Structure 1
Amino acid sequence: MSSPTSDPASGPAAAAPTRFRTGGLSPRKPTRFRFRPEAEARAALAADLDLLALHALELTGEIRPVGRDELLLVAQLTARADQPCGITLAPVPALIDEPVQRRYVAGLAAPEGDEVEMPEDDTTEPMPEVIDLAEIAAEALALSLPLYPRAPGADFGQALHAAEGVTPLSDRDLKPFAGLQDLAAKLAAKADPGPEEG
């Protein structure tokens, strides 16, 4: 019996599937997978996640049967991306290497309303008809990316703006002027001795 996935080295015609019908998975042995989207799909995902670039993305793992009513997806997500610095918008490299786990349980009701109590394990989900590796990889990547990417040397105090072609003043540039203002205030105080007694 052939594996649900195929060897990527065998050529484009034998590309591994990215979607698995849960009813068609083996109930006895794991179903292995390796998801590596092409450049076009990575570019679309980069745009969705506000990335400057998504150079590489791979989700490798397997879907294991657990009893009759559960499936366990265990995988490793690796990625190389460029995020915009939150201050300067300069590219900030991000290297992702994170474990990914999803537990699918048949008969588990999907949460509805605001008062539904969520399970402590947020990786547990109702059994879907289809497991979509692209969706899982996108969600896992979004959760793994740094929230506040910062380029080396970037500082919130330097987030000053100027017209195009004009170098903005930084805090370091403004400090001498602040010092001159303090000096002028001291000199003015000495020059004004106040009302004379008499």
Structure 2
Amino acid sequence: MSNQTSLRVADLPQNAPTPFELRPDAKALDAIKGDLGLLGLRKLSFVGDVGATGKRDWVLKGKLGATVIQPCVVTLEPVTTRIDIPVTRVFVANWADPEEPEFEIPEDDETEQLGAEIDPALVMVEALSLALPQYPRKDGAELGQAGFTEPGKQALTDEDVKPFSGLADLRDALKKDE
């Protein structure tokens, strides 16, 4: 898929943006669905353009749209989510890797190293994977209380482990004694 959509930087015009419009076919949708662990993927589109910014850098701006189906984290039933987000990537010619081994890249960093090609399809899949709900939940699905312990013993509940749950009873008992 990437070879068909890659834009050679050397061929891009400096004075006008180069538009792109990606609407993957059923085979490509199946591949992306499998890579991202989705139950379903429909209406995937990525439309935008790539234009010069400065003398040697490039910016990709687009709009990503998709309908994804994921398993509910509680019931494992299918959960459908519509994603419509703007996507921006800035490709920088003078990329400098941070020297420190513990350096963290900010989550909202849209800057990447400029290579010989810019591939909107790769940006599309990356942006989709980042936009997926991490914990999709079916409406009304809730985790129930589960109690596990040795046979013959009483399981601890959430109320049992709250450190201040008995203070109200203690306060009321002290008021009675006064």
Structure 1 partner of 2:44? 57
TM-score when normalising by structure 1: 0.67
2:61 to 68, 74, 78: 74
SS in 1 for 2:10: helix
Question: What is the CA–CA distance in structure 2 between the aligned matches of 1:120 and 1:53, rounded to whole Å?
Answer: 27
State how 1:97-176 maps to structure 2 within 5 Å: 97-111=84-98, 114-116=101-103, 118=105, 122-157=109-144
AA of the residue aligned to 2:94: G
Ranges in structure 1 where 5+ consecutive residues have no aligned partner: 1-16, 160-198
Q: TM-score, normalised on structure 2?
A: 0.74
Pairs aligned (count): 144
1:32 matches 2:19? yes
- Structure number with bigger Rg: 1
Answer yes or no: is the 8 Å Cα contact 1:63–1:72 preserved in 2: yes
Matched, 1:46 2:52: no
- Deviation larger for 149-158 or 56-65: 149-158
In structure 2, C-alpha distance between the alignment counterparts of 1:111 and 1:49, rounded to whole Å? 29
Pairs within 5 Å for 1:10-21: 17-21=4-8
1:22 pairs with 2:9: yes
Structure 2's unaligned 5+ residue stretches are: 147-178
Larger helix share, 1 or 2:
1
CA distance in 2, matches of 1:118, 1:112: 12
Q: What is the root-mean-square deviation of aligned Cα atoms in Å?
A: 2.2
1:87 aligns with 2:74: yes
Q: Which moved more, 1:68-77 or 1:110-119?
A: 110-119
Q: CA deviation at 1:80?
A: 0.7
Identity %: 45
